Structure formats: C-alpha cells, structure tokens
Amino acid sequence: MIKVWLPVSLLIASVYSYASPVLVNVIDGDTVIIRDNTLTYHLRLLDIDAPERQQAFGIQSRRSLKQLCEHANIAVQLQGRDLYGRTLGHLYCNNTDASQSQIALGMAWFNTRYSKRLELDALQHQALQQGLGLWQDAEPMPPWQWRKLYGQYYRRQE
C-alpha cells in the first residue's frame, strides 16, 4: 500500500508546487524576459521609459536594471499588454520596485503620459537635482523623442 501512495503523493505535490518567476534576460532599462513556470514572456515595466540601448545612457540603464535584479528573488505584478504584445507590469527585485529604482538612479524617465504615481515624479526631480545617471547630460533626450528621430535606423535587440 505504501508503494502506491508514494508516487501519488509526489504527483500531487508537483501539481501544487509553484515556481517563482525567474529573470531570463534584461533587454534594456525597462524590459526584461521572465520565465514563470512554463510561460516565458517579455515584461515591459510600468511607469518608466528608459533610454534605448543605442541611445546615450542606454547601456548604463540596462546594466542598472540587470544589477538590481539578476541574482534577486523576483516578483511580478501583471497589468495587461502593450501594442507590441509585451506584458505590462511591475517588477520587484528583492522587494525593491524596479521602476522606482531606475528613476531614483537617473536611469529612466517617469512616464507621465501613462502613470499617475506622483512619488516617482518626485524621485525623478531628486535625480535631476543631483545630476544622477542620464541627468548628467545638459539636455538628455527622452527615449520617445529618440525613437521618433532614429527608430527606423535600429533593430530591436531581443
């Protein structure tokens, strides 16, 4: 009788086990690839817009997000999809809000067009006043302007 119950109990335990989300890759300063159980998807972080990798501070922004999340315990709060099919949501790395961290370090813009989190606007203002990250430039170009000017000349790296 024990021989029968052991495989059945292992099967039940495996059905009910839940794997935490895993960071597969950091695409840029506001997009990552997540594997959650058997599903793998691109997660576009809400509330921010980071420089493109080919843009000034693009590599630094990607490196900043990678450093925060690469070996961290992560949690994801999904919020829908964007026009490119990417999943939208919040990413937490060791309980730190990745969007908030990127803004505080001057590695992304607060996306006022799509977000109403005013505490992020205050963090951006602080980073600007302290000259952190992209705010070291006298006139940093927001990524939405950069994509409008140069978007046709680069291929998305994924």
User: Is 86 considered catalytic here?
Assistant: yes
User: Is 44 considered catalytic here?
Assistant: yes
Catalytic residue among 35, 44, 70, 156, which? 44
The vertex-52 CA angle with 47 and 53, nearest 5°, equals 130
Residue indicated by tokens 């140069």? 150
Catalytic residue among 70, 86, 119, 156, which? 86
Catalytic residue among 52, 113, 117, 139, which? 52
Q: Where are the beta strands (DSSP E) in 64-118?
A: 74-81, 87-93, 96-97, 109-110
User: Is 52 considered catalytic here?
Assistant: yes
Distance CA 60, CA 107 (A): 7
Instruction: Give the catalytic positions in this structure.
Output: 44, 52, 86
